[in-house]
Chain A
Amino acid sequence: MPTTTINGHDVSVDDEGFMTVYDEWDESTGAALAEAIGIDMTDEHWAVIRFLRDDFKTQGATPTIRRVSTAGGVDTKKLFQLFPKKPAKKMAYIAGLPKPAGCV
């Protein structure tokens, strides 16, 4: 498993750069990851990222867009505005969570 340095910390990542260890993330890491993919973080962005982090902790899986929208209360249209083009991947990337499992 490769490692990389984000914001001065060594973190484990997968081949596509998604972080693989939940506890290696903190919000400063998240901010650096967001900057790397050109997302300018606002309070609305952080609310979504915090939901993803909490939900992963209780559910054990990266939430889908549908779950962020129904359980997290941020509708899909909004998610596309906040994280353009590929919200599912971008949210997970910034939140330091595994890439959402491609459904089968």
Chain B
Amino acid sequence: MKKLLILGGGTAGTITANKLRRRLPSTQWEITVVDADDNHRYQPGYLFLPFGTYKPSQVTKSRRKNLTADVPLVYGEIDMVDADDDRVLLTDGRTLDYDVLIIATGVSPRPDQTDGMLGDHWGDSVHEFYTYDGSVALAEKLRTWPGGRLVINIVEMPIKCPVAPLEFAFLADSFFRSKGMRDKVEMTYVTPLPGAFTKPIAAQAFGDTLEEKGIAVEPDFMLMEVDNDKSALVSYDEREVPFDLLVTVPLNMGADFVSRSGLGNELNLVPVDKFTQQSKAHDNIFALGDANDIPASKAGSVAHFEIDIFVDNFLEYIDGKDMTHRFDGHANCFIETGDKKAMLIDFNYDWEPLPGKYPVAGVGPMSLLKPTHLNHLGKLAFRWMYWNMLIPGRPMGLPALMSTSGKRTDLVDTPH
């Protein structure tokens, strides 16, 4: 009996286990998932918790129940991967052997990595919404916050769901308007990027939306520290941005065991081949979802398309064949823009997000890079699709590889 061990029972780990269990004979392959607890979070929901749109109970389900019954879930903290001996050590002393290992332990916000962030104001005037506890605490804060200078900040790229801080800004604008207090809130978006987003055409569209909503942008801001005496962000080039309420996206890092095991880069991400997600250091280790270092968004959408391709490659790999499928970095994301509207972007390694229609050229029904009510309904419907289609590994009817059909490719000279 061969053993496939999957570290992490989140989005990538669960989809992979559920899909592969159907494709691998149970007489030949045992598939086991390891995670520390039973709370599978619907992380896109963290965006809505602070504004009271979702209730905490709507974003959590059982990891165990999301996994097919014939995949055992081992509860335990990972101490390290012993790649030379093909085994994983848990902190309680248990050892798990594998023939093939999949690392799907994602990334986590690390406020401890920025000087002063975990200072006196943490949890009071310094908040984050990238954890369940953080987004619940921020909801409580916003409920009674009287207004003032709201600063939304990204410490450093890459982060999970790179559009989420923009969405937070757009939704906060709507939230304060609906409470009749928008005039009491001065909003600034402080980013290490040269503009609102990484890719030029989308950056322009999002930048225009920020401007329309009266949200100032402080670009190229490399955060050095949170100055607790001054209640201000301080950059390496000595700019200061004072705040009354800071909503930051801390540095995102992979799990510490990845680096303890010698498998990680400086952000604890596993270096992999960007087309197959196979570890560059060990042939029988793959890293899927946010845990790897591919130059794509860290998002469930990427994990979804990546795993569609990975499953076919994996079947070739265990047959001793060359892996012939190539993941293209495809992702699509809804971006809430407030007032019950959303934009949609669809892109990959080579093509930046462009205007057009999706998924059917000329027809849609979704519009790319344009705020519409239908996109907003799509975003809300996605929670149901996540739990009922994506996580069980059912086909969603969307092609895994990106298509340029229906897109304004004339807007760019070369794919980028």
Query: Interface residues, chain A, CB within 8 Å of chain B?
Result: 64-67, 70-71, 76-77, 80, 84-86, 101-104
Instruction: Please determine whether A103 and B222 come into contact, CB atoms closer than 8 angstroms.
Output: no
Query: Which residues of chain B from 206 to 261 have a CB within 8 Å of any chain A CB?
Result: 220, 222, 224, 236-237
Task: Confirm or deny: B312 has a beta carbon within 8 angstroms of a beta carbon on chain A.
Answer: no
Once A103-B198, A104-B198 are accepted as A-B contacts, the answer to whether A77 and B224 lie under 8 Å apart by CB is: yes
Nearest-neighbor residue (CB-CB) of B220 within chain A: A86
Instruction: Please determine whether B266 and A103 come into contact, CB atoms closer than 8 angstroms.
Output: no
Number of A-B residue pairs having CB atoms within 8 Å of each other in the complex: 40
Query: Interface residues, chain B, CB within 8 Å of chain A?
Result: 156-158, 162, 193-194, 198-199, 220, 222, 224, 236-237, 265-267, 295-297
Instruction: Please determine whether A65 and B296 come into contact, CB atoms closer than 8 angstroms.
Output: no
Q: Which of B157, B237, B265 contacts A103 (CB 8 A)?
A: B157
Instruction: Please determine whether B265 and A67 come into contact, CB atoms closer than 8 angstroms.
Output: yes
The A interface is mostly helix, strand or loop, or mixed, namely loop
Residues of chain B contacted by A66 (CB below 8 angstroms) = 156, 266-267
Residues of chain A contacted by B156 (CB below 8 angstroms) = 66
A35 to B198, CA, bound (A): 29
B144 to chain A, nearest CB (A): 36
Nearest-neighbor residue (CB-CB) of A88 within chain B: B222
A64 to B194, CA, bound (A): 15
Sample (24) of A-B pairs whose CB atoms are under 8 Å apart: A66-B156, A66-B266, A66-B267, A67-B265, A67-B266, A71-B266, A76-B224, A76-B236, A77-B224, A77-B236, A80-B236, A84-B237, A85-B237, A86-B220, A101-B295, A102-B193, A102-B198, A103-B158, A103-B198, A103-B295, A104-B162, A104-B199, A104-B295, A104-B296
Residues of chain A contacted by B296 (CB below 8 angstroms) = 104
Residues of chain A contacted by B224 (CB below 8 angstroms) = 76-77
A77 to B234, CA, bound (A): 12
A30 to B267, CA, bound (A): 29
